Amino acid sequence: MTEDTLGIGDLARRTGVPVRTIRFYCDEGLLEPARSVGGHRRFEAAAVERLELVRRLRGLGLGLRSITDVLGGRRSLDDAVAAERTALDRELATLSWRRSVLRAVEEAPSRLDLLSAVQDGPAAREALVRLWEPMTAGPLPPDTVRMFLDIGAPVPPESPTTAQVVAYAELVVLAADRELAVGLRASTLVAHERIADLGALHGSVGEACVLASGAVSAGLPPAAGPALDRFVAAHATAHRAVDSVEFRRALNRRTAADRSPRMRRYWHLAGEVTGEAAPMGVAHTWLLDALAGSVG
């Protein structure tokens, strides 16, 4: 056996990997040596190539479990590298977020209390998701739920500016406002049980918001027109009603909470976070203001 195999010292010299590290890899199952009569580890020649592969993968930052899976054929190298890159992307996004939070506090120490609640971007988003998830009650398609949450609870930017982390912190504060939450539920969930197709309603309202986005981007004041007509028609269809002055007045009363100063501020901040010229929430508020104007 000894003539055709390598001792641990020989393997270390051939690969440049310290003996202590080779012992560790053996204990972890990355290398599978035989034992001599005297109990010493002996390695096949193929162990050189295997150990060099382990060294390269460790150099890329892959964990021992991933490397074991690759060596054992349970996972492809491409998959393991892609998973490591994804994990690194998340880590870099976390560090970028923290750096911007620290910079924002450095610029204005008075922001410390505000920003202490958003040290972790994903956790901060969860606070927004908790506000909006109840609004997705009902038989909604998954794509509609995802769109609803993406609008109301925007994903933290990967490389945020200080203004964006401050805006996100203010969103979290607003999301914890019970009065805002109660108003949202009152305007969003009212009569849901009488609407046969909530997905169609949200889709049609979204179309109306897209029609209004041009006016919002141009800074035009809310006014009657195709966008408002599409918005009212969406609600009228959902409630099996017709567009009339009476229906518009009822819709205006029902959505009054969505025009509150808190909600206006919320959508303004959401726009700062996403950087959109005409955020969906702002376009929706524009339509509500146009509706209010149309009924006097």
CATH number for the domain that contains residue 12: 1.10.1660.10
Residue 4 has a pLDDT of 79
Residue 45 has a pLDDT of 87
Same-domain status, 130 and 53: no
* Both structure tokens of 276: 């959109």
d(CA 285, CA 235): 15
Coil/strand/helix, residue 5: coil
Same-domain status, 192 and 57: no
202 in a structural domain: yes
* Domains in the chain, number: 2
85 in a structural domain: no
Same-domain status, 216 and 286: yes
Residue 153 has a pLDDT of 95
Same-domain status, 117 and 172: yes
Same-domain status, 69 and 195: no
30 in a structural domain: yes
Count Cα atoms within 13 angstroms, Cβ side, for 39: 0
Residue 98 has a pLDDT of 92
Closest by CA position to 8, among listed 42, 47, 59, 53: 42
Same-domain status, 150 and 38: no
Same-domain status, 31 and 138: no
83 in a structural domain: no
Residue 191 has a pLDDT of 65
Same-domain status, 25 and 116: no
34 in a structural domain: yes
Domain extent for 163? 109-294
96 in a structural domain: no
Coil/strand/helix, residue 225: coil
Same-domain status, 189 and 64: no
pTM above 0.85, yes or no: no
103 in a structural domain: no
CB neighbourhood size of 265 (10 A): 14
Same-domain status, 24 and 113: no
220 in a structural domain: yes
Same-domain status, 11 and 127: no
Point out the domain boundary residue: 21, 51, 75: 75
Same-domain status, 118 and 246: yes
pLDDT digits (tens, 9 = 90+) for 206-257: 999 999 999 999 999 999 999 999 999 999 999 999 999 999 999 999 999 9
d(CA 249, CA 148): 25
Q: In a structure prediction context, what are the per-residue pLDDT tens digits for the chain, which is 296 residues long?
A: 456 788 899 899 999 999 999 999 998 888 988 888 777 889 988 899 999 999 999 988 899 999 999 988 899 999 999 999 999 988 998 899 999 999 999 999 999 999 988 888 888 999 999 999 888 876 778 888 898 899 999 999 989 999 999 999 999 999 999 999 888 887 777 667 678 788 899 899 999 999 999 999 999 999 999 999 999 999 999 999 999 999 999 999 999 999 999 999 999 999 999 999 899 999 999 999 999 999 97
- For residue 126, CA distances in Å to 116, 136, 145, 156, 184 come to 15, 15, 15, 11, 17
